Amino acid sequence: METKTREAQIEADIYAQVQRRFAEFDDPAHGWEHIKRVYQLALHIAEAENADRFIAGTAALLHDIGRLTHDTTQHHAEISKSLASELLSAYPITHEQKEAILHAIIAHSYRHLTLGDNRDHPAYSSNSVIPPGRSFRGTASTR
């Protein structure tokens, strides 16, 4: 129980940090409202799939943090992963938790994988994200 309480406190702190950072970000498609929707959906999916709420929620909160930099030389998912790694280093989480969160952040966008010869990257395969034999609403057309 103590671990879940610690994770909930970390997640609440990250939620507040991300909300502050996005407060002045004027992008209707990827602003705070988008982050909140993705966060709520991630928690819903984590509960429905018996997945780790902390990893899903934290990744959802941080998945677009790279958009705040306005850096156009890298894909926002790469920047988000880097910024999230730095932010997560301040918290007492396991290496495995951090890596799972960072993987989810980088895997949320396939677009950056098509910018180079990255077809061997594990996130490029839809099977690495949606296991074979699983059915999720809206994914049938992506296979």
Render each residue's pLDDT in the chain as its tens digit; 143 residues.
688 899 999 999 999 999 998 888 777 767 778 899 999 999 999 999 999 999 999 999 998 888 888 777 777 778 889 899 999 999 999 999 999 999 998 887 766 555 444 444 444 444 444 444 444 444 443 33
> Are 58 and 11 a contacting pair, CB within 8 Å?
yes
pLDDT given for residue 106 in this prediction: 87
Q: Which of 90, 14, 26, 13 is nearest to 59 (CA)?
A: 14
> Are 89 and 62 a contacting pair, CB within 8 Å?
no
pLDDT given for residue 132 in this prediction: 46
List the domain boundaries for the chain: 2-109, 112-143
> Are 97 and 54 a contacting pair, CB within 8 Å?
yes
What is the spatial distance between Cα 69 and Cα 79, in angstroms, rounded to a whole number?
A: 8
pLDDT given for residue 111 in this prediction: 60
Largest CA distance in the chain: 44
Buried b vs exposed e over 122-132: b needs ≥16 C-beta within 10 Å?
ebeeeeebeee
pLDDT given for residue 126 in this prediction: 42
The model scores a pTM over 0.75? no
What is the spatial distance between Cα 36 and Cα 104, in angstroms, rounded to a whole number?
A: 17
Other residues' Cβ atoms within 10 Å of the Cβ of residue 7: 20
First to last CA, the chain: 39
Q: Mention the CATH class of domain 2-109.
A: mainly alpha
